[in-house]
Chain A
Amino acid sequence: MAAIQLDGLVKQFGDVRALDGVDLSVHEGEVFGFLGPNGAGKSTTIDVLLDFVRPTSGTATVLGMDAQAESTAIRARTGVLPEGYHLYDRLTGRQHVEFVSESKGLDVDPVAALERVGVADAVDRRAGGYSTGMKQRLMLGMALLGDPDVLILDEPSSGLDPAGVRDVRAVVRREADRGTTVFFSSHILSQVEAVCDRVGILREGRVVAVDTVEGLREAVGTDATLRVTVDGEEPHLDAGVTAVRGVEGVTSVTRDGSTVVAHVEDRGKIEVLHAIEDAGLAIRDFETRAASLEELFLAYAEGDR
């Protein structure tokens, strides 16, 4: 059974088609990152899963239960961090945790729960006085209560400083290790890259790609950039550039002083080094930069694929 299943999900807001037939399947226990440019429909998709928004057509299920018909049952087994939430200003962190515990029939130690997300020292302070980062941490802490089977997080890192972002990553990894399915949307790509088993890219209300990060890389075939610093005289350098140009898989070569810069597919990198040596140049240093997820994402998001 898929932890989350979306079939032909369509949502029309007046004359705006926010979701245009979303099909997606999230396996149990996996960490699934949902990427997309702003306005792609990520939050709308999550809103449908949470029954905040009703689909125009299509179905959404979580743990086999229909997201609209059995929403309350779903929310008893999921931890949720929506966007656009508001905490109760006059309740303390402790009281928030107690409220959530009571609603889910749990017996939780508020301090321990808040320690997991790093706001334990503010446990008895009113949430109205929390900073943005603290509020987000508290919400995340509330979502984790009771060890839910599925975590649905909408931009979990928003409002957090780099330490916070790292902490969210750690939390997600820890939950995943316990077998929790984690479904989150983000546009912080490095974070997605670091924790996700699979990534789905949403563009204009449609899923344009679903794969592991590696799989996406291969599919896009974005080049790596190889910068080789060499020892050599002018004519040799030019010969070196020409030689590299002849290597299979090289899309472009330029020279930056005594550094040869080549754009080449991953498997061609060694050949480039050999070509340079064969041209009589001694390699002093080299540097590879893999295509970042950023470039990958832009390639998909801007519709190059």
Chain B
Amino acid sequence: MSWRLLARKDVGDAIRQYHLHAAVALTVLLFAGTAYVTARTFRGEPAAPGAIAGALATLGTFLVPLLAVGFSQGVVVGMRERGDLKLLLGLPFSRRDVVLGSVAGRTAVVWASVLAGVLIGTLVGLARGAGLAFDLLLIVTGMLAVLGAVFVAIAVGISSSVSTETRAGALAIGAFFLFVFQLWTQIPRLLLWVVNGFAAPATVPTWVHVLINCNPVLAAWNLLATVLPGGAAFVAEMPATPPFYRALPFAVAVLAAWIAGPIALGYRRFDRTDL
């Protein structure tokens, strides 16, 4: 399939332009630093197992989307503005190949960074004598990988649907703030306030909670909370029977939608516009 060739080329480009090196270096530095600091408590005792996993998860849910968006928002629109796209589309590649190949390539770069970061962070933690819960670390890595894929998809979707790098950058920053800085949480609440006649109601209706939990970052946390074996201290306590919007199936659906949706919409727009 041609998209595979483009994905390989994209990874090659990331290496040639030292993007991969930068992403890995940044992730390793921050993850290792966090692990180092978390490895021992205030009093110098080795931290409890799960502390490092928790710290990396918290850092990761900020860093991984940043990395993913930062490195992916310019990929397709950059090709368009420079003229690379004309070269590519003069060959037997479809616009679909371009979008899918870019998503695959950038996701590979993000995943490489996450893996490297967690690996080095783990080694640092071990060196510092902390107790490590490898199963927790594995699950956290998985969650960060999924989050990375989501934000690559969002960024590539944006990149495919606009015609200037400036616009792509602006939308990417907007998306980052929307999801990572919890702006997303405020919108349904605001809506509720308006709908309720500009006053806060006594109880928050379900639809507000549902909307709030459609934030992919929140969904990732929900996913983590339900998958982790009981007693993972760093995740907000999940009730025995969580409401449906915090349960695993909903979280998985939200994350899947945030991967497939932006790609599909971005591709559709890309396919319909002239170069």
Contact = CB atoms under 8 A, between A and B. Distances in A.
Nearest to A81: B90
Contacts of A84: 83, 86
Contacts of A286: none
A53 B86 contact: no
A86 interface: yes
A80 B92 contact: no
B84 A50 contact: no
A47 B5 contact: no
Interface of B: 2, 5, 9, 13, 16-17, 82-84, 86-87, 89-94, 272, 274-275
B89 A104 contact: no
Given A51-B89, A52-B89, A90-B17, A85 B274 contact: no
Contacts of B86: 52, 82, 84-86
B87 A50 contact: no
Contact of B94 (A71, A86, A90): A71
B90 A80 contact: yes
Interface in A10-64: 47, 50-54
A99 B2 CA distance: 11
A76 B92 contact: yes
B25 to A, nearest CB: 20
A75 interface: yes
B87 A75 contact: no
A100 interface: yes
* Most A CB within 10 A of own CB, among B5, B93, B274: B274
A99 B9 contact: yes
Nearest to A75: B92
A87 interface: yes
A102 interface: yes
A103 B83 contact: no
A72 interface: yes
A103 to B, nearest CB: 5
B93 A85 contact: no
B87 A103 contact: no
Contacts of B90: 50, 75, 80-82, 85, 143
A53 B2 CA distance: 22
A170 to B, nearest CB: 22
Contacts of A75: 89-93
A102 B92 CA distance: 10
Nearest to A88: B84
Contacts of B272: 54
A85 B92 contact: no
Contact of A86 (B5, B87, B274, B275): B87
- Top 6 closest pairs, chain A to chain B, by CB: A86-B83, A80-B90, A52-B275, A76-B92, A53-B274, A85-B86
A14 B9 CA distance: 36
A154 to B, nearest CB: 10
A134 B83 CA distance: 17
B83 A72 contact: no
